[in-house]
Amino acid sequence: MKNTIALVTGGFTGESYVSFKSAEVIEKNIDRDKFDVYTIVVTRESWYYVDENAVKHPVDKNDFSIVLDDSVIRFDAVFIGLHGSPGEDGKLQGYFDMLGMPYTTCDALTSAITMNKGYTKAIVQGVKDLHIARSLQLFSHSPLSSEEILAHLNLPLFIKPNNGGSSIGMTKVKTAEELPGALERAFNEDTQVLVEEFISGREFSIGVYKGKEGVQVLPATEVVTTREFFDFEAKYTPGATEEITPGRMTEEELERVEAIIKAVYNKLNCRGVIRVDYFLEEGTGKFFFIEVNTVPGQTETSFIPQQVRAAGKTIKDFYSELIEMSLDSLK
């Protein structure tokens, strides 16, 4: 008997654009021999399913069901493909927890914590061989002046919304004169902003998930871009960067990175698939943690599908494993 799966997309932020693209890839690759799939759009205004005739059917938020042809469709599990709020910050996870409905991502607490870059770094700081760039966490109700920031940190700096994703609102600052504008852009996206020192090195992004054989680390992707940094355009414009999967690392680096990534996954109490971004510092090879993404992109240009294929798996089997692990979580 097939399980009925809700694929949730949309969202409350500018990342909804990415969410819809991810949902297209996920829907296309879910095994229809095992699962019946309904794509549910979640926006601030409404939650709904669109049928083949472009008719919108509202979701009953009391039990997360829909009605089609006088029949009530109830879901066995949820595949969360919604980036940003409310799919990545714990809000949807808390809602599904109250309904007793399994889902494919980290739980509500882990999702909420990891959405905040500063809090995440505080938790993972003790992981062996993991390094963190010096930074300041700023709040809109008590901002610091450029002079105060530069008294603590050295240029160049990365300015980024503390709870955002997809590099929206992020700026690399090389001079003191650029700092006020960069802070303004970041605060337009969030009430908290992270300011951190730039680490010179090779940038990587790596997926890790809990499957039937335990925690599995996927082959890392090395990111080589001609832009100042791996920004929104570089991430989602085909050909804007060179993405090398598996990334170029020595055997020692591979072993060290895998141990660090598994330790991060376990320390944050993760579930499903996450993506960790990191630098290997120029000259030292030290692992510098950037951030965790608990609902990583699944678009045609995203890293996770590349890494799954590099690991010798099909996307269809990978998604099946994520769904089956979620279903097993309530047994």
3-state secondary structure 15-53: CHHHHHHHHHHHHHHCCCCCEEEEEEEECCCCEEEECCC
Q: Do residue 155 and residue 24 come from a single domain?
A: no
Q: What span, in angstroms and rounded, lies between the C-alpha atoms of 144 and 249?
A: 39
Q: Do residue 226 and residue 189 come from a single domain?
A: no
Q: Do residue 168 and residue 303 come from a single domain?
A: no
The number of domains in the chain is 3
At residue 166, the pLDDT reads 47
pLDDT single digits (tens) 274-326: 999 999 999 999 999 999 999 999 998 899 999 999 999 999 999 999 999 99
Burial zone of 204 (CB within 10 Å; 0-12 exposed, 13-18 middle, 19+ buried): buried
pLDDT single digits (tens) 66-79: 999 999 999 999 99
Which residue type does 198 have?
F
Q: Do residue 181 and residue 292 come from a single domain?
A: no
Q: What span, in angstroms and rounded, lies between the C-alpha atoms of 40 and 48?
A: 6
CA 33, distance to chain mean position in Å, is: 28
With beta carbons less than 8 A apart as the criterion, state whether 292 and 276 touch.
Answer: yes
What is the average per-residue pLDDT within 35-51? 97
> What's the length of the chain?
331
Q: Could you tell me the CATH number of the domain that includes residue 298?
A: 3.30.470.20
Predicted confidence band at 167 (pLDDT cuts at 50, 70, 90)? low
At residue 329, the pLDDT reads 80
Q: Do residue 211 and residue 288 come from a single domain?
A: yes
Q: Which residue has the higher pLDDT, 120 or 166?
A: 120
In the predicted structure, residue 190 carries a pLDDT above the cut 90: no
Q: Do residue 36 and residue 78 come from a single domain?
A: yes
pLDDT single digits (tens) 76-106: 999 999 999 999 999 999 999 999 999 999 9
Query: How would you list the strands of the sheet with 171-173, edge to edge?
Result: 135-139, 192-197, 157-161, 171-173
Q: Do residue 187 and residue 218 come from a single domain?
A: no
- Which parts of 198-270 are beta strand (E)? 201-211, 214-217, 221-225, 241-244
Range of 98's domain?
3-105
Q: What span, in angstroms and rounded, lies between the C-alpha atoms of 86 and 78?
A: 14
With beta carbons less than 8 A apart as the criterion, state whether 55 and 305 touch.
Answer: no
What is the average per-residue pLDDT within 113-121? 92
Q: What is the mean pLDDT of the chain?
A: 92
Which residue type does 57 have?
H
DSSP assignment of 245-292 equals: SS----HHHHHHHHHHHHHHHHHTT--SEEEEEEEEETTT--EEEEEE
Q: Do residue 125 and residue 159 come from a single domain?
A: no
With beta carbons less than 8 A apart as the criterion, state whether 6 and 57 touch.
Answer: no
pLDDT single digits (tens) 218-249: 999 999 976 555 454 555 455 567 899 999 99
At residue 229, the pLDDT reads 52
At residue 240, the pLDDT reads 62
Both tokens assigned to 121:
């770094």
pLDDT single digits (tens) 13-24: 888 999 999 999
At residue 118, the pLDDT reads 87
Both tokens assigned to 275:
């993506």
Q: Do residue 144 and residue 126 come from a single domain?
A: no
Q: What span, in angstroms and rounded, lies between the C-alpha atoms of 3 and 32?
A: 10
Q: Do residue 121 and residue 153 come from a single domain?
A: no
At residue 165, the pLDDT reads 54
H or E stretch at 195: strand 192-197
Provide Rg for the chain, Cα atoms: 20
Select from 152, 176, 197 the last residue of a domain: 197
Residue 259: CB atoms within 10 A of its CB come to 16
In the predicted structure, residue 270 carries a pLDDT above the cut 90: yes
Q: Could you tell me the CATH number of the domain that includes residue 165?
A: 3.30.1490.20
Predicted confidence band at 189 (pLDDT cuts at 50, 70, 90)? confident
Q: Do residue 139 and residue 177 come from a single domain?
A: yes
Query: Given the structure tokens 């993405």, which residue do they identify?
Result: 243
Q: Do residue 166 and residue 143 come from a single domain?
A: yes
Q: What span, in angstroms and rounded, lies between the C-alpha atoms of 279 and 271?
A: 24
| pLDDT above 70 as % of the chain | 94
At residue 239, the pLDDT reads 59
At residue 236, the pLDDT reads 47
Q: Could you tell me the CATH number of the domain that includes residue 62?
A: 3.40.50.20
Widest distance between CA atoms in the chain: 65
What is the average per-residue pLDDT within 138-153? 87
| pLDDT above 90 as % of the chain | 80
